[in-house]
Amino acid sequence: MAGRKKTFPCGHVGKGKFCHRCVQEEERRRNEEKRKQEQARAKSEWNDRLTAPSVRHLRLNQLPTEAARRMLDVIGELKNGKNYQAFKGKRLKLMRKRDIISIPIGRDHRLICRVRRGQPLEFIAALTHEAYSQRLSSGGWEAWV
Ligand SMILES: [Zn+2]
């Protein structure tokens, strides 16, 4: 009598050879687990990007995620040989620091680099626009160069 309802060992009532409700719940649980693992993997990948040896000193984890992401994107493109001017980067001529370049990242952040002839671009600092302005006006640029 396949159609008859019965009580499964789990306590649920239903038809068939096994409890479909428990199977569904198990599947849901597994999907949830998978989603969590995926999240954890994405998080650890993101952490790896933030703490990669070439950018670790920039302490990008102190910036909002979106700003950090943009910084990493720009850094990646600069490393691939794209010119800083493509990102509206400017030399600090007024500060007589022609080898220092300030690149706006969104509206609120700046990426500071140093460019020297025959050398790869050096990433010096990632900071808020506010901190950047303060640093400029206090003439505290020396420490970076
Ligand atoms: Zn069940």
pLDDT at 140: 60
Q: Are residues 24 and 63 in the same domain?
A: no
Q: Are residues 124 and 72 in the same domain?
A: yes
Q: Are residues 76 and 102 in the same domain?
A: yes
Q: How many domains does the chain divide into?
A: 2
pTM: 0.76
Residues with CB under 5 A from ligand 1 (ion): 10, 12, 19, 21-22
User: DSSP label at 84?
Assistant: G
| CATH number, domain with residue 130 | 3.30.2310.20
Q: Domain for residue 7, yes or no? A: no
Q: Are residues 81 and 63 in the same domain?
A: yes
Q: How far apart are CA 58 and CA 100, in angstroms?
A: 16
Q: Are residues 62 and 89 in the same domain?
A: yes
CA of 24 to the centre of ligand 1 (A): 9
Which structure tokens are listed for 100?
Answer: 């220092």
pLDDT at 94: 66
CA of 23 to the centre of ligand 1 (A): 7
How far are the Cα atoms of 5, 28, 31 from residue 9, in angstroms, in the given order?
13, 20, 24
Q: Domain for residue 4, yes or no? A: no
- 87-131 residue pLDDT tens: 999 988 766 677 889 999 999 999 999 988 888 899 999 999 999
Structural domain containing residue 24: 12-48
- 50-82 residue pLDDT tens: 999 999 999 999 999 999 999 999 999 999 999
